[in-house]
Structure 1
């Protein structure tokens, strides 16, 4: 979105007020993904907000940091780091010369933890996980103090050093902030801020045996970098008091402000990384980049454009209220953008042969077809026409209903950009299935009205049989049949759409599609939008989206 199109919202109003009052001379936001999975469309909202605000405030040299919150090496991998960088860049955002890593601040986090211990604001707890959970209480019952809560500073420093040296097994000791075990907010009941893991880290190797908890590291990272506005989704609202407590009680160089906004929820979709990982690991989908997933890599492979995603995020807006958006709105923005930019081509998915009886054997003509009627500068292309062509099987009917205007006995139809064809006969096999249709072409009808006495009310797409490129086409649909898979009584895995992917092996495409680059998007006329996919070395076409919302019709 350009500055002139920027949509005003409560976050942007806060930032504008902070700049106008002189509270901040510039703005620094951050996008802090955990590298434990691939980014999805929900993350795209956070990316667009954080990077978008920085772009809109270039007059004050605003910036957005890309920072990896890599504090849990058990679930993290460098593969995820690289995929996240690729996704952010694909959306069109620049994080500058370097990305930031929470792991680069491990020494700082450790010093802050020592500071809390020395100030009497943290202690090492040797209770089991079960004992701590039981003592925590619930929303109606206050928690009870740990027997280690009043240990001396020296005892806690010694225990914490032993934690760092690897003297404890994972889970045998944690460092807890000493706040208030009776706090109404459960996050403030002496939360754990450091734990023992005894595993290597993708960035720091075997240097550390202990790792900070997210709620401890997050505010310190923001403060260390000088973030002015820490923008996060609404589930962190209850964590804000702890965020502010950490900033207040640790030696921080800045005081960032956390502001929450509603996360993005879509119908017929799951957004949980855990559930997406389950789909991948159980082989329900082919991988994180499966075109049926809401991951950005999957959407990219399916043919989504960055512009369509950003338009959708812009339209959804920024609010404080959780809601679920119909995925049809996302598909609408996708169709709208692809209609503007996608070149038109002809592809026949369920081919039926048509023989032009009065066409001379071996004769070939080139029909001139528009590349994109929405773009006058897109020009035209030449498409060869010979004696035999393929049309869609449902573009011919032996006994057509009254308002059927395509090919059938006694009927005429125009080839897109070409001649009008007049039905003469058709062939069938032993089971009565139509195997070929015979027609005559009407000379002089390219771009001209039909001659007197001939009714022709439709134009159909086609491909010359002698010049056709045979390709595999994947037809993708929504992965779940239920609008809210998370609420399905049998679990989200029990409302998978069995028709979410259909593979067509023998589609016939016009020859211009035989050699196209990976990611190129086309509109197959009258069929839908398709994306060229060569990731495994073979050229196939993935259906990005149909020309119309087929789900609305089903409803």
Structure 2
């Protein structure tokens, strides 16, 4: 989707209006430079997609630039695997960054800025324990208390800080704090931590550093060093903005970025915490970050969700200043909408029931032409092989047909899509009474599925030729949680995991044209849903992931439950 398409589809929002006013007024010389700053401690999820669309989208819309910057200031949780995954996900969404940076690119510069603050009497080394520091900071009702080490001399602070860097001390012995105001109404301004001792190998700098900057100190410096204009971040950082401004104003950096906050994306039936998603991975509730049940972008890609649907959804929900939960049905609508536009159509039977056409020659086959897309002739057609024995969906047959049943039942005539009309004459069951075969007759004059004499045949079924069918494993995916807010109140989010979020069906039958569909490619199985080919597939043994059903089955269920049904 192009930038213009994104802009036209999405309503105006306060960030777009703010940037437009800045450009028109010549602020920063009319320049727009944003950044997307993920921490490489996990995979990106759908919540990050909103930030990506805003950061990259605003830069593109106003002819500016957007940096990809990895905030790698915590080596305990960060890995190269996550860096590579983040790059893949951003590119998959259709965005390209102008520059790539790491917070670790600036470690020396950040250290120099900290030394500058110490020399200016605006930072000091505190030797209290973290628990003492936390207690001394107070709370909303209780003012902070000065650290007993707050009055250390500049020379002593410089010496201790240099020795912290050299590795003379262990974690927790000392920290570097800003000297601001322990009586400040904003707790973030009560002498916040700037550096802590952390003897941990970094994925880029190795063991070169024994101290690492805190995020609230590093982030504004990174923005200023890169000469960012609009530092767009989620609402949780609103109370951190005074500290952001303080760092920029008091450190020797030329850039003057401004932070603006927007409401993060909270999607129903979903988690937006990387820590909790990692917990699901580590505890084996899912099979990894790319499990199709996960809200991670890699999981969505494996599930077959089109990136255009994600971008379209993020633009439609807009940008606000208040947090709230977005109805997941809006996201699912965007997925169905995009797949309906681009997904080629095929046929498959998930729970096959054999159907024998008794008056069709035993040794003959024929082919019917079927469109790959009913609304776009440019997709072309595919050949559907047909023979005496076919498979139909078991759920399309009833021994005792209910009222208004338009599918198969004894004595009923139905249309086999693109093929012909058949009538069920006999039902074969096994010793337990299970239906194992339907014996039918066809009307040879109905080739192509037309009624030769104009008679009305209301039921149309999908089918697959038994002789030519591909056998497949199909994984039916659904929402990860059973509750819209899986962690509401004191609930353990794991207690609300949906046990039916994945159901695996073996022995499914597919039309042979699906043998040529590539891994990751999406398509519709007519009358069933949208699917894609999973990387677990082997030659001649496809594995399909259901991306989404054709209709919102949850809406029907919730409507029924609301009526006490």
Global fold match (TM > 0.5): yes
State the number of aligned residues. 551
State the partner residue of 1:159.
160
Cα offsets for 1:76-100 (capped at 9, x unmatched)? 000000000000000011113x411
The match for 2:14 among 10, 13, 16 is 10
State the partner residue of 1:194.
195
Misfit runs of 4+, over 6 Å: none
Distance apart, 1:456 and its partner CA: 1.6
State the partner residue of 2:320.
319
Cα offsets for 1:463-514 (capped at 9, x unmatched)? 0000000010000011110110011543101111111100011110000112
State the partner residue of 1:76.
78
State the partner residue of 1:43.
48
State the partner residue of 2:27.
23
Distance apart, 1:322 and its partner CA: 0.7
State the partner residue of 1:88.
90
1:4–1:86 CA distance, 2 compared to 1 (3 A) = closer
Distance apart, 1:235 and its partner CA: 0.3
On the 8 A contact 1:482/1:488 being kept in 2, the answer is no
State the partner residue of 2:65.
63
Cα offsets for 1:98-147 (capped at 9, x unmatched)? 41100000000000000000000000011011111111111110010000
Any idea what SS the aligned residue of 2:27 has?
A: coil
Distance apart, 1:3 and its partner CA: 2.2
State the partner residue of 1:492.
493
Structure-2 separation of matches of 1:327 and 1:4: 23
Any idea what SS the aligned residue of 1:124 has?
A: strand
On the 8 A contact 1:411/1:455 being kept in 2, the answer is no
Any idea what SS the aligned residue of 2:487 has?
A: helix
Cα offsets for 1:225-261 (capped at 9, x unmatched)? 0000000000000000000000000001110000000
On the 8 A contact 1:291/1:298 being kept in 2, the answer is yes
On the 8 A contact 2:536/2:543 being kept in 1, the answer is no
Distance apart, 1:449 and its partner CA: 4.1
State the partner residue of 1:545.
548
1:475–1:397 CA distance, 2 compared to 1 (3 A) = same
Kindly report the root-mean-square deviation, in angstroms, between the aligned alpha carbons of the 2 structures: 1.2
1:247–1:535 CA distance, 2 compared to 1 (3 A) = farther
State the partner residue of 2:238.
237
**1:222 aligned onto 2:227:** no
Structure-1 separation of matches of 2:336 and 2:486: 25
Distance apart, 1:536 and its partner CA: 6.8
On the 8 A contact 2:537/2:543 being kept in 1, the answer is no
On the 8 A contact 1:339/1:374 being kept in 2, the answer is no
Structure-1 separation of matches of 2:479 and 2:449: 41
Structure 2: state its 5+ residue gaps. Answer: 559-565
On the 8 A contact 1:474/1:542 being kept in 2, the answer is yes
Residue correspondence of structure 1 range 473-492 to structure 2 within 5 A: 473-487=474-488, 489-492=490-493
Structure 1: state its 5+ residue gaps. Answer: none
